[in-house]
Amino acid sequence: MTTQSAPAGGPGLAQRRRLVTPIPGPRSQELLARRTAAVARGVSNTLPVFITAAGGGVLVDADGNSLIDFGSGIAVTSVGNAAPRVAARVQEQVAQFTHTCFMVTPYEGYVAVCEALNRLTPGTHEKRSALFNSGAEAVENAVKIARHATGRQAVVAFEHAYHGRTNLTMALTAKNMPYKDKFGPFAGEVYRMPMAYPLRWPGGPAACAGEAFETVARGIHTQVGEENVAAVIIEPIQGEGGFVVPPEGFLPKLADYCRQHGILFIADEIQSGFCRTGDWFACDHEGVVPDLVTTAKGIAGGMPLAAVTGRAEIMDAVHSGGLGGTYGGNPVACAGALGAIETMEAEDLPQRARRIGDIMLPRLRKLAETYPLIVDVRGRGAMIAVELADPDTLEPDPAATQQVAHACHIAGLMVLTCGTYGNVLRFLPPLVIGEDLLEEGLSILEDAFAGL
């Protein structure tokens, strides 16, 4: 295949949807054939258009199609793809040095990212951070730190949770297919409790916060013993599991309970963090202050970086040399993070996320009035979803979900699905998307429902 000259990415890219071939087009199909022959089948694709440039709210593919992006590469490019401050700092850093290994000879960028994390994550207490490569690695390290600091082993996770694909994080992740099937045995001392899922709570949404908390507290008491629990880990808004938003009150109750029992409260903000939900972190919404926070995705504008941030005395409980890795906090990734964080602050991206929610939620609620199979519209800021099910029985409808997603894709709108039952359409636009593109994307979605 000859490489066609692609436009430069970033916000300068024409901010419009334009389809010049069917989706996927012939060049993407050629690449797909190469991909099938060269890349392991286990690594899947949501939409096999091969991207050559991206920026603002669009993805441009190898055939010259320009798609509206409601996915941000799974909540990563919140500041936009090839965001100017990210690209500039990365370019500068890559020309200076690409690696020393922070554990061998340190550099300022790593320290500056940790300072920013300590300042921006919930709570004004003294904090420390450590940097890693991926979300799963951050979660693994948060559990290591919690076990070391408490001298306890058990970890409590929730139904519908997603925390990664490594061995320990597979154990924490709830869903079997595709994440866990035949990949066991899994790490031990992981206990799963019911999630406060208002739509599906047996006693109804109004009773959910209180009853779910009581069920969790009782479950921990009877099945594990409070004194054996190192940490409770929870996504303050669940991601892969279906954008489940716990009812007001549930997280504060859970955090208080943990404090009373010497259990560390770990907030996995890997998907919900860094302005996505309209606050810097989803925990901020109810003033919940976790002992440890895991971050990744949005932190570095697309560069691979992740972190654990927590109370100084907990983080510093681990002996020198107990945490690390060759690449964790790579200088180029740190430069990306500093550019991304600067962008979030300079452009007030929490406010942008709230504005996106204010535009999306009313249109989606209206859509739900027309199509009763939309049984729930939920989320905050630019982390929004609709759940599809039979309105009488709440039997999940993954087939309709796939059908709507496919209709969006071929019309040039990148949307993602999620959910334990595969029946949730989720919307995670870059926070810098133009409002005209956002509205156009919603119109495509409306057409997709009309075509069911």
Contacting residues toward ligand PLZ, per CB under 6 A: 74, 134-136, 139, 162-165, 235, 239-240, 268, 270-271, 296
User: Given the complex with ligand PLZ, which of 40 and 104 has the nearer CB atom?
Assistant: 40
As measured in angstroms, the least distance from the Cβ of 297 to ligand PLZ is 7
Among candidate residues 304, 299, 216, 223, the one with its CA nearest the CA of residue 265:
216
**DSSP β-ladder status, 383-388 and 374-380:** antiparallel
As measured in angstroms, the least distance from the Cβ of 162 to ligand PLZ is 5
- Helical residues (DSSP H) of 121-229, grouped into ranges: 135-150, 167-172, 205-223
Burial of 7 (0-12, 13-18, 19+ CB in 10 A): middle
As measured in angstroms, the least distance from the Cβ of 62 to ligand PLZ is 23
DSSP for 133-149 reads SSHHHHHHHHHHHHHHH
User: Given the complex with ligand PLZ, which of 136 and 289 has the nearer CB atom?
Assistant: 136
Burial of 255 (0-12, 13-18, 19+ CB in 10 A): buried
As measured in angstroms, the least distance from the Cβ of 270 to ligand PLZ is 4
User: Given the complex with ligand PLZ, which of 307 and 444 has the nearer CB atom?
Assistant: 307
User: Given the complex with ligand PLZ, which of 61 and 140 has the nearer CB atom?
Assistant: 140
User: Given the complex with ligand PLZ, which of 128 and 163 has the nearer CB atom?
Assistant: 163
As measured in angstroms, the least distance from the Cβ of 26 to ligand PLZ is 28
Between CA 140 and CA 68 the distance in angstroms is 34
CA distances from 282 to 195, 212, 435, 438 (A): 17, 19, 23, 22
User: Given the complex with ligand PLZ, which of 25 and 278 has the nearer CB atom?
Assistant: 278
As measured in angstroms, the least distance from the Cβ of 221 to ligand PLZ is 27
As measured in angstroms, the least distance from the Cβ of 43 to ligand PLZ is 9
User: Given the complex with ligand PLZ, which of 163 and 311 has the nearer CB atom?
Assistant: 163
Contact (Cβ atoms closer than 8 angstroms) between residue 447 and residue 412:
no
Q: What tokens were used for 73?
A: 């590469």
Q: What tokens were used for 74?
A: 């799974």
- Helix, strand or coil for residue 349? helix
